Amino acid sequence: MAIVQISRITNRKGLIENLPQLAGAELGYAVDTRQLFIGNGTLQEGAPVIGNTEILTEFSDIAALSNYVYKDIAVGYAAQTGPTTSDPVVRTVQAKLDDFADVRDFGAVGDGETDDTAAINRALFQLYCVAANTQIRRTLYFPAGTYKITETIIIPTYAKLVGEGANCATVFLDTSSDISSLSAYVARYGDSLQQTGVNIGNNGATAPANIEISSITFETAEATDVFLVEDATQCYFDSVNFVGPLTEVDITNNTSTDNIAGVRFASTAGLVCNQITFDKCRFQGLTYGIETDQQVQSVTVSNGAFVTLYQGIVLGTGTVVNGGATGFRAQQNLFDAVYAEGIIYGDINLNVSAYNAFYDVGNHYSSGPQTAVILFDSDNNVSITDMFSRDDVDALTQARITVTGSSATTGTQIQLGHYARENGRSFVLGNNQTNQTIFTTDSSNFKAFQMTYTIVRDVSVRFGTLTVTKVTADDSSLTLAYTDDFTENITTGITLAVTQSTNLALVKYSSTNSGIIGTLTYSLAHLA
């Protein structure tokens, strides 16, 4: 209706909880929340509803008061979000903005100077640990910046961290101002209550699972590991960098003594790390890219880079726990500027290296090979179509792949139907030796096998094939026959022979007294 007069405006003030129904055009001010309201008036006066209307000020929650309707106007029309075009789905702007969380919403700054430890851990706790309600779990976004921390970040179950990019969003451990606070890791997994270590799974918490991290760098300026994967299942890293402080000079001077790893694992008998995937990740400036003696299952590392390291992937070289790593797959990765071995599978089995490219690896940052590129220290580990810059001449000094397992019929590299060819192996032939055993195999594993081999002894080189067959099929009365067909440029002084002991076949060698040791490299083929 038309305004017929202007009356004196009355007003009230008090606490928000005591705000009454205001008369028409009467003002009410809540002193505790600094909100201002005006009375709607009566229905007879033409008010659409009885009540109070908030007057917007700088203290109004505009996002909660404003409505949002999805409209895909880029395609030229408003998308239908509700049952009909006239009944759209309406959400508040606040609800829309809460669809994902920014780590800066919890106080992180990302300027490389401010200590963001508490803010990041607070965000992780509030988003993933406060309640079991899945609706509170939001992707935690890390905008471009360097997030300095001074203590370990604990990433709980169900967390999903997404950064602006691996070279844009960096979580950086720097305790230089307080060395007493040195942490064991830049980041580690925790359970659904951010509990770690022996406490994982206590107090009704869920063990680490379904954690996803992408497009972030974790970096340390300290002599500390970068990341600990602990008691975890079905977790993923995508485009994540694990960066340490070491240079080639540091690695050359200290070799493995720094003992800094990009990723380590920890498992218990009831919580074995399994189904962990690293895709498009980079490991740099560390002693080891990945290192563990722990039991882990079905870990895949693919499409990554291992650069400026002492060793790349090192599994099972210490005291192996419950069989160590099985089902570990390193595939389609790049290895370069690695001081010693690119991959070591130690006292473990059922692990694969496949389609990896190895450049400057095992050369001690010098001009010649010093170690193998890949070392298998046990059987049933395989290399499939790995590629090496180490040429054939250098491979005579240090093999591309060295296998030191003892069995002749395990460690299959490739199998076509019943035909199987084993991993290549190497063996040092001593000077002036008689009937020394190279390897022993159970006759039940074969009817016949061939050993294709090369012997290098000083300038003498010999290529040959040792063929071994069983004359009788009954293992209890084993009779073997063998032939050694070879060519050599100069006499190597090496004699190969096959003997038998009950049901065992022993391949042996004897050498002349030339004062020079030799190297035997060989591969076995047989019917599986």
97 secondary structure, DSSP code: H
Note whether residue 63 is domain-resident: no
Note whether residue 81 is domain-resident: no
Pair 50, 76: CB distance under 8 Å: no
50 secondary structure, DSSP code: S
Q: Which two tokens stand for residue 344?
A: 């070591």
- If asked whether residues 216 and 276 sit together in one domain, one would say no
- If asked whether residues 269 and 352 sit together in one domain, one would say yes
For residues 326, 327, 332, 333, the Cα torsion angle rounded to the nearest 10 degrees is: -30
Note whether residue 116 is domain-resident: yes
- If asked whether residues 23 and 125 sit together in one domain, one would say no
Note whether residue 32 is domain-resident: yes
Note whether residue 1 is domain-resident: no
User: Could you tell me which residues are beta bridge partners of residue 12?
Assistant: 28
Note whether residue 80 is domain-resident: no
Note whether residue 194 is domain-resident: yes
pLDDT values of the chain reduced to their tens digit, one per residue, 528 residues: 454 444 555 678 889 888 888 888 889 988 888 889 998 888 888 888 888 988 888 777 776 767 777 777 665 667 777 888 778 888 877 777 777 799 999 999 999 999 999 999 999 999 999 867 776 778 999 999 999 999 999 999 999 999 999 999 999 998 765 544 456 899 999 999 999 999 999 999 999 999 999 999 999 998 899 999 999 999 999 999 999 999 999 999 988 788 999 999 999 999 999 999 999 999 999 999 999 999 999 999 999 999 999 999 999 999 999 999 999 999 999 999 999 999 999 999 999 999 999 999 999 998 789 999 999 988 788 888 899 999 888 887 888 888 775 443 344 556 666 677 776 788 999 999 999 999 888 776 677 889 999 999 999 999 999 999 887 655 555 678 999 999 999 999 999 999 988 778 899 999 999 999 999 999 888 875
Note whether residue 413 is domain-resident: no
d(CA 263, CA 168): 21
Q: What is the residue whose two structure tokens read 């299959």? A: 412
Q: Which domain holds residue 20?
A: 11-55
Coil, helix or strand for 96? helix
CA end-to-end span of the chain:
97
449 secondary structure, DSSP code: E
What's the Cα-to-Cα distance from 367 to each of 27, 254, 362, 370, rounded to whole Å? 85, 19, 10, 9
Q: Write the CATH number for 477.
A: 2.60.40.1680
- If asked whether residues 142 and 232 sit together in one domain, one would say yes
Q: Of the residues 245, 267, 295, which one is the last residue of a structural domain?
A: 245
- If asked whether residues 180 and 304 sit together in one domain, one would say no
- If asked whether residues 238 and 269 sit together in one domain, one would say no
The three-state (H, E, C) secondary structure of 378-427, written as one string:
CCCEEEECCEECCCHHHHHHCCCEEECCCCCCCCEEEEECCEEEECCEEE
- If asked whether residues 387 and 253 sit together in one domain, one would say yes
Q: Write the CATH number for 111.
A: 2.160.20.10
Q: Tell me the HSE value of 430 on the side-chain side, using a 13 A CA sphere.
A: 8
Q: Give the number of domains in the chain.
A: 4
d(CA 1, CA 97): 39
For residues 468, 473, 476, 477, the Cα torsion angle rounded to the nearest 10 degrees is: -70
- If asked whether residues 276 and 385 sit together in one domain, one would say yes
- If asked whether residues 105 and 183 sit together in one domain, one would say yes
- If asked whether residues 320 and 346 sit together in one domain, one would say yes
Phi and psi of 248, rounded to 5°?
Answer: -60, -35
Which pTM was predicted? 0.74
- If asked whether residues 118 and 22 sit together in one domain, one would say no
User: Could you tell me which residues are beta bridge partners of residue 233?
Assistant: 209, 274
The three-state (H, E, C) secondary structure of 364-389, written as one string:
CCCCCCCCCCEEECCCCEEEECCEEC
- If asked whether residues 382 and 458 sit together in one domain, one would say no
